[in-house]
Amino acid sequence: AQACPIDYAFPWGGMPMPFHVYTLCVGTSADARKSAGITVARDILDAALPDAIGEVPGSREKLIDSLRVKPRQAVLYSEFGAFLASSEQGYLNPLKTAFTEAWDGTPLGRALIKKADTEARIPRMSMLAGSTLDYLERHTEPADWTGGFMGRYITFYGDRQRDFPVPPGNLSMRGTLIEWLRNLASYSAFGVTRGQCLGFSQTARQLWDTWYKSLTQHARGTGVTAETAGSVSRAHAHAVRIALLLAWDY
């Protein structure tokens, strides 16, 4: 997402779907290696596109100030549970609302609108976060799920499948990934001029219509709780964003 142009979008009716994503990795403490994975991502992104990493905001105002200067950025939370615990106590609740608005791609405050640079008018903030299941259960409220905050995250649950006394590492692959991100960030990589995503092909549109109707029926079905219905119904938006990122890579 950090390698995409600020105006990159999927033609989604009258309101183009932007490219940025919120991703939440959930697993058990220590064993799932969530923080280790996020640390690797931070290391590669910092080497490839150092300006793409934003500071973890401590308030809604700090987030607005940060997006005014750097509208396209990635915020990384190794321990997202700490943020959830703080927002549950109240003083970070406005920041939670700001994250929701930023995912929608809407301007945050008049300061962004007044700035002459057009990039500042369309914040494109992505997030990569990790949390234990215990923290997620303890420090989120029903309104976080039914109101759409948690539904905006592409959420993965993972268990460790391999054990290494010493992580093997792969310096050559690290270099390949860094160069790959740098190439994606350029408008002309590998001699191919990159452009905007053109949307659905006719075949894809037929498949999409069928899946969308099935997803909607499932979200409204008797087997889906109110807390999970928002996440299920927003799955189509996540799919479009993932497709958009794959199109830029293609």
Whole-model pTM: value is 0.88
pLDDT digits (tens, 9 = 90+) for 217-244: 888 877 788 888 878 888 888 999 998 9
pLDDT digits (tens, 9 = 90+) for 157-182: 988 888 888 878 888 899 999 999 99
Integer Cα distance of 41 and 25 in angstroms: 13
CA torsion sign for 178, 180, 186, 190 is positive
Pick the closest to residue 18 from 196, 249, 185 (CA basis). 196
153-157 vs 188-189, strand pairing mode: unpaired
pLDDT digits (tens, 9 = 90+) for 67-116: 988 989 999 998 898 888 888 767 788 898 899 989 988 777 754 445 54
- pLDDT score recorded for residue 180: 92
Residue 109 amino acid letter: G
